[in-house]
Structures are given as structure tokens and as C-alpha cells.
């Protein structure tokens, strides 16, 4: 059988990794896919650099639409990143009847519903294993490996940059700015690291996993997003003294509110018991914990970024597309795991309605009765206290009082915090970090 022809849009870190791994393992990949997979065309901004990577046998062009419109290309691999240009390119590739492989989580989190509908209409595949957790095959696991299950929750460390920063802050007692600078020097964080540190990149990935886990449309606009830029080293240290680690977690799960069934979709710093496997994922590694009714808990761990780890996922998609290209489109694995006409409209619940536990740090003047006032406000709000720690943060005058609560609705804790901040002995704002036992 003739090799399947692939056009690459972008040949940066992941593109070069894809080219190299395909070359290196081409014989095994051919034996697995049933036919060869050949990159025959590459679109790149820097033509000379691209030619240096792919050599003379591959056509290198400056215009990505030349790849998307080329009649010989069977699969377009989109590795450009960003929103607008990839959006136009992917829709054009689909309209031209080409299959698409993409690592672009931002694109799918924002435009996934439109892209999958267009692909469905045209009978082509859009594969995106590399978009979530890089080399970790979590999309395949959720969509295929766990297909027997009712999935209850997905909780993941899905941004390596922030996990590296949090590890450095905990292990070396660094503040956020210093740890971020180290991440940038080591090439983990982008020069503009906003998407990483403010949780946007993790929310893109979580949105995609949520759709696949629960059979709902991608709804990035409904995700609650809070990053790690406001985290203080002392909270990481206090959490550790109480037996917890702080991680930037993406959490999506089934829940019940006063108005019925819903789905939580949230990214924020989270205390996790230090003994949990996922709490021990350090450095730039990724991990995703899935709770499902038949299999129970399963954990997926590995490199969430980097040239060849991400290429591993891109090529797995290329092999899937190659194997299934001749199959009747109705017999293929649906893009979002559930058949397109079987999606549900279970609502994403507003953040005020989610239920979780909390770490509260209250900075107070060391006055008689302040602890009693705090506990009374929480008791009046029906919030039960799990642990209390009192620390003298170094100024010799005031105190940090740290309280861990049992589960309550977010709106209850917000109301209690408002009252706490009005107490005369309380200085400034209460620090509030959510806590998940992940039991």
C-alpha cells in the first residue's frame, strides 16, 4: 500500500520531534499502521531552518494554506499554536476532505464544537492526543480505554510549568517570582508565561477532558480559572506542616446542586493530602487521576511537554488516522467519545455552587477572643473545622491562624470570609485555597 502523505504546519520543537521520531522508528510505525507514514510537505516561517531539519526530500513552503490545499496531502498536522490562523487552516483542511491532527488545546477548547461538527459533516477525523498532557495518552484512555465506565471525576496536574514552580517553592522555600524566573531560565515557561501561571493552559486541557469524560460540548467559557501567581511561600509551608501539598489542579466532576445534576469545571491551586500519589508528582511532570465506577481510580503520569514526548502523541494520532482512514466514518471512534447525537446538555455549575473543603489563613492581631470569633463565624455558617494551626510569621506582633474546613459550598465560605474580614482584629484579606482529599 502507498504511504499516507502528511503535511506539517509548523516545525518548531514538536514538529521537529515528530519528523525525527517518524524517521527513526519508521519501520516499526509502518508495521503498526499497515502502511508507511511520510511527511512530504512542511509549512514554516523560517524556510532555511525547516530545510535544515527535514532535508532535501520534503517540500518546504512559507504559506500554510499551500499545504492545506495541496491535493496530495491526506493528513494535515497543525502545530502552529494560537487561535486565529490555526482555526482558519483546520477548517480549510476539513473542507478539503483532509484528516487533521493537532496539538492545539487553545483551538479545541474555544472552537472544538465547530471543528468537530465540520469534521463530522465531511467524514474526516480530527485527532488531538497531543493537546492534553503531551506524551501521556489520556485522551485515548478517557475516550477508549475507559469506555465501559461512568466517569465520575477527572483531576489533573496538566501544566508542567506551574508544577515545576510549585515544586521549587516547596522544596527550596523560594517565592513565586524567583521560582518563575528559574522556570524561564530552564526553558519551561514561555517568555510571556501568563497562560501557564494564570491557569489558562490547564483550563484549555481540562475543558477538552471534561467534554470527553461526560459527553458534553467543550465549554471553556464556563471554566473557573485561578492561577498560582498569588500563592505565597508561607502557605505552601503551612500546608506541608498540616500534611498537604499545593498543586495547580484541573478538576471536572459530576455534582449535585440545589437545581439538579451538574458538572464542575475548575482550575485552581489545591491542597492535596501529601500521601496521595498525585501529590508526589514533582517538577514539570503531568498526571491525571480518573475516578470511574467500574475501574475505580486510575492514574496517568508522564511528560506533558517537550519535543519527543509530544511527538509521541502526534504520531500515535497519525497511526490511528492511517489505520481508520478507509473505515466508514460512522464506525470510527467519535471525536469526543460519545456519538455526536448523544451529547447531553448537563450544565456546568457556577463556582458558588461547588462543594469542597478549604484552607483559610487569617492574619490577625494577637488579641483575646480572636480565635473564638473566627470559629463562631464558621459555626454560624454551618462550616465544620477539621484542623487549626497558629503561627507567628516573623513580625513578632501578629499571628497567622490557619484553619482547614470540612466540605461546604463555595458560597458559604465566601459569606463567612466576608464576615471574618470585618473583624477588628483581622488584618487584610483572608487567604483561601481549596482542598481536595481525592479519596
Q: Applying CB under 6 A, which residues contact ligand HSE?
A: 159-161, 196, 201, 304-305
Is 205 marked active-site?
yes
For ligand HSE, give the closer residue by CB, 68 or 208.
208
> Do the bridges between strand 431-435 and strand 355-365 make them parallel or antiparallel, or are there none, so unpaired?
antiparallel
> Do the bridges between strand 398-405 and strand 355-365 make them parallel or antiparallel, or are there none, so unpaired?
antiparallel
Among candidate residues 9, 1, 72, the one with its CA nearest the CA of residue 43: 9
Distance CA 294, CA 316 (A): 26
Distance CA 402, CA 348 (A): 31
Phi, psi of 336 (to 5 degrees): -110, 35
Distance CA 23, CA 37 (A): 10
CA 297, 300, 301, 305 torsion-angle sign: negative
Among candidate residues 316, 309, 277, the one with its CA nearest the CA of residue 160: 309
Q: How long, in residues, is the chain?
A: 439
Residue 280, C-alpha cell as written in the block: 508526589
* Residues 6 or more apart whose Cβ sits within 8 Å of residue 148: 294, 295
Burial of 184 (C-beta count, 10 Å sphere; 0-12/13-18/19+)? middle
CB of 201 to ligand HSE, least distance (A): 5
Among candidate residues 272, 275, 283, the one with its CA nearest the CA of residue 163: 283
Name the 3-class secondary structure at 357.
Answer: strand
* Residues 6 or more apart whose Cβ sits within 8 Å of residue 253: 152, 153, 154, 155, 263, 264, 291
Q: List the catalytic residue out of 105, 205, 247, 303.
A: 205
Other beta carbons less than 10 A from residue 274's beta carbon = 13
Distance CA 355, CA 412 (A): 10
* Residues 6 or more apart whose Cβ sits within 8 Å of residue 206: 154, 156, 158, 223, 250, 251, 252, 265, 267
Orientation of helix 26-33 relative to helix 307-324, angle to 10°: 30
For ligand HSE, give the closer residue by CB, 38 or 201.
201
Residue 284, C-alpha cell as written in the block: 514539570
Distance CA 254, CA 261 (A): 7
Q: Which residues are catalytic?
A: 205
Amino acid at each position: 500500500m502507498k504511504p499516507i502523505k502528511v503535511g506539517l504546519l509548523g516545525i518548531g520543537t514538536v514538529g521537529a520531534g515528530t519528523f525525527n521520531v517518524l524517521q527513526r522508528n519508521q519501520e516499526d510505525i509502518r508495521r503498526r499502521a499497515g502502511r508507511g507514514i511520510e511527511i512530504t510537505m512542511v509549512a514554516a516561517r523560517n524556510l532555511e531552518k525547516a530545510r535544515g531539519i527535514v532535508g532535501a526530500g520534503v517540500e518546504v513552503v512559507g504559506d500554510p494554506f499551500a499545504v492545506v490545499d495541496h491535493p496530495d496531502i491526506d493528513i494535515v498536522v497543525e502545530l502552529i499554536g494560537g487561535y486565529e490562523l490555526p482555526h482558519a487552516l483546520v477548517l480549510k483542511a476539513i473542507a478539503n476532505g483532509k484528516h487533521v491532527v493537532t496539538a492545539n488545546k487553545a483551538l479545541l477548547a474555544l472552537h472544538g464544537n465547530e471543528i468537530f461538527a465540520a469534521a463530522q459533516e465531511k467524514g474526516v477525523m480530527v485527532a488531538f492526543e497531543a493537546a492534553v498532557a503531551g506524551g501521556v495518552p489520556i485522551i485515548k484512555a478517557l475516550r477508549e480505554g475507559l469506555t465501559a465506565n461512568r466517569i465520575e471525576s477527572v483531576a489533573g496536574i496538566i501544566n508542567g510549568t506551574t508544577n515545576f514552580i510549585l515544586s521549587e517553592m516547596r522544596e527550596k522555600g523560594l517565592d513565586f517570582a524567583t521560582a518563575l524566573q528559574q522556570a524561564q531560565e530552564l526553558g519551561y515557561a514561555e517568555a510571556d508565561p501568563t497562560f501557564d501561571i494564570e491557569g489558562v493552559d490547564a483550563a484549555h486541557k481540562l475543558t477538552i477532558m471534561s467534554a470527553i469524560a461526560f459527553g458534553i460540548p467543550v465549554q471553556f467559557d464556563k471554566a473557573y480559572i485561578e492561577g498560582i501567581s498569588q500563592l505565597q511561600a508561607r502557605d505552601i509551608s503551612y500546608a506541608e506542616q498540616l500534611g498537604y501539598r499545593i498543586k495547580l489542579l484541573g478538576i471536572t466532576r459530576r455534582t449535585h446542586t440545589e437545581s439538579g445534576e451538574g458538572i464542575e469545571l475548575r482550575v485552581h491551586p489545591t491542597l492535596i493530602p501529601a500521601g496521595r500519589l498525585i501529590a508526589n508528582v514533582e517538577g514539570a511532570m503531568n498526571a491525571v487521576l480518573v475516578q470511574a465506577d467500574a475501574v475505580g481510580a486510575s492514574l496517568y503520569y508522564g511528560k506533558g511537554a517537550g519535543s519527543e514526548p509530544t511527538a509521541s502523541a502526534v504520531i500515535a494520532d497519525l497511526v490511528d488516522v492511517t489505520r481508520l482512514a478507509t473505515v466508514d466514518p460512522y464506525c470510527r471512534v467519535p471525536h469526543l467519545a460519545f456519538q455526536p447525537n448523544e451529547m447531553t446538555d448537563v450544565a456546568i455549575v457556577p463556582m458558588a455552587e461547588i462543594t469542597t473543603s478549604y484552607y483559610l489563613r487569617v492574619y490577625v492581631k494577637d488579641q483575646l477572643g480572636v480565635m473564638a470569633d473566627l470559629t463562631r463565624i464558621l459555626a454560624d455558617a454551618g462550616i465544620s473545622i477539621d484542623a487549626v494551626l497558629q503561627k507567628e510569621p516573623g513580625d513578632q506582633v501578629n499571628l497567622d491562624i490557619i484553619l482547614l474546613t470540612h466540605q461546604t459550598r463555595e458560597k458559604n465560605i465566601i459569606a463567612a470570609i466576608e464576615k471574618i474580614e470585618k473583624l477588628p482584629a483581622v488584618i487584610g484579606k483572608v487567604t483561601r485555597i481549596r482542598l481536595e482529599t481525592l479519596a
